[in-house]
A = this chain, B = another copy of it.
């Protein structure tokens, strides 16, 4: 259940409702959504309890019977797909229905030259958003861990120069503020999908969040992770499928495109696809990027490098500048080819 308080209700009012619920042994979890105070319950409230609640708490505006364990993320709560606005001014990009976005850039920011060269390629190819890793979660402590804040600054400058919003990963609460200062989208990586304290911190940072699916996360676990962010009052969440664990060493992961379609039926949040990490192999990126467009996803995120053979990280999955051009053109062609099937839905819900 989801209890929505009237506009203008305060944290004190929330406490009152939670206390009343506690009196009947029901635990209410305060959250914040669309500028309203809301209270989420795991239990179901029957009609008697709902009537009683309205009586003892007149500030309760509505009680919604949302069956999914994720409340704010559910399509029951918002049947129409949401859009997330990314970046500022003329470079602002809407991620949501009817606007297939392409996020591209190097896996890792290695130097000013490498980043700006790639950014130029990304812009020229027609991609919308610049990606680049400054803090890198590496399996080994003996691998390059990223340029850190220095990299963030370069990313910001490259974004400004090429008028593109930027996205980069934040790995720990201590750097949320810094990343939020320099980047337009805070990425939570697959390994951190259930790092709940980090989810709360990025939620509170108030900027759009790109939440990658964990390699062994069910759709429900993924949406519950999104719910941690949404419950802070931050509605600007973009989901990103990047491959799940499989048994076949032929590809690094298994890109679960069926899961993308299935999750779109469960949530109003935009969903994009990362074919680079999913496969770990350059030649698979373009076909799967096109497939993302074919299934009606809201965009893709790909790694691109002018000289992949020199990349400090994940060069084998980075596509070449020419391939990025081809891919961007391709996804737009596919999107046009399937437009009739995914009837144009007016984007009404812009998260802010």
- Tell me if B228 and A141 are in contact (CB < 8 A): yes
- Tell me if B247 and A247 are in contact (CB < 8 A): yes
Q: Which residues of the other chain, B, contact A143 by a CB distance below 8 angstroms?
A: 42
Q: Which residues of the other chain, B, contact A281 by a CB distance below 8 angstroms?
A: 262
- Tell me if B337 and A330 are in contact (CB < 8 A): yes
One complex includes copies of this chain to the number of 4
**Given A191-B194, A330-B337, A246–B248 Cβ distance below 8 Å?**
no
Shortest Cβ distance from A217 into B: residue: B248
Q: How far is the CA of A294 from the CA of B334 in the complex (A)?
A: 8
Q: How far is the CA of A326 from the CA of B341 in the complex (A)?
A: 7
List A residues 129-161 near B (Cβ within 8 Å).
Answer: 137-144
Would you give the 0/1 interface string for A197-229, flagging 1 where the beta carbon is closer than 8 Å to chain B?
A: 110000000000000001110111100100110
Give the residue of B27, B140, B218, B333 whose beta carbon is less than 8 angstroms from that of A248: B218
Q: Which residues of the other chain, B, contact A290 by a CB distance below 8 angstroms?
A: 294-295, 338, 341
Which has the most chain B C-beta neighbours within 10 Å: A196, A228, A278? A196
Q: Which residues of the other chain, B, contact A64 by a CB distance below 8 angstroms?
A: none
Q: Which stretch (A78-86, A99-107, A110-118, A167-175) binds chain B?
A: A167-175
Is A256's beta carbon under 8 Å from chain B? yes
Interchain nearest-CB distance for A280 vs B (Å): 10
- Tell me if A288 and B258 are in contact (CB < 8 A): yes
Give the residue of B139, B142, B191, B284 whose beta carbon is less than 8 angstroms from that of A41: B142
**Given A247-B245, A250-B219, A258-B254, A174–B194 Cβ distance below 8 Å?**
no
Would you give the 0/1 interface string for A217-253, flagging 1 where the beta carbon is closer than 8 Å to chain B?
A: 0111100100110010000000000011111111101
- Tell me if A248 and B259 are in contact (CB < 8 A): yes
- Tell me if A40 and B142 are in contact (CB < 8 A): yes
- Tell me if A250 and B220 are in contact (CB < 8 A): yes
- Tell me if B295 and A291 are in contact (CB < 8 A): yes
Q: How far is the CA of A43 from the CA of B275 in the complex (A)?
A: 29
Q: How far is the CA of A142 from the CA of B68 in the complex (A)?
A: 12
Interchain nearest-CB distance for A299 vs B (Å): 15
Q: How far is the CA of A275 from the CA of B257 in the complex (A)?
A: 11
- Tell me if A258 and B247 are in contact (CB < 8 A): no
Shortest Cβ distance from A191 into B: residue: B194
Is A347's beta carbon under 8 Å from chain B? no
Interchain nearest-CB distance for A176 vs B (Å): 12
Is A293's beta carbon under 8 Å from chain B? yes
Give the residue of B196, B244, B341 whose beta carbon is less than 8 angstroms from that of A254: B244
**Given A215-B216, A333-B337, A259–B249 Cβ distance below 8 Å?**
no
- List 22 interface pairs A-B (beta carbons < 8 Å), by A numbering: A27-B144, A42-B140, A139-B220, A139-B224, A141-B231, A171-B195, A172-B195, A172-B198, A191-B194, A216-B216, A218-B249, A244-B248, A246-B247, A248-B259, A258-B279, A261-B288, A262-B281, A286-B341, A287-B294, A294-B334, A334-B334, A337-B337
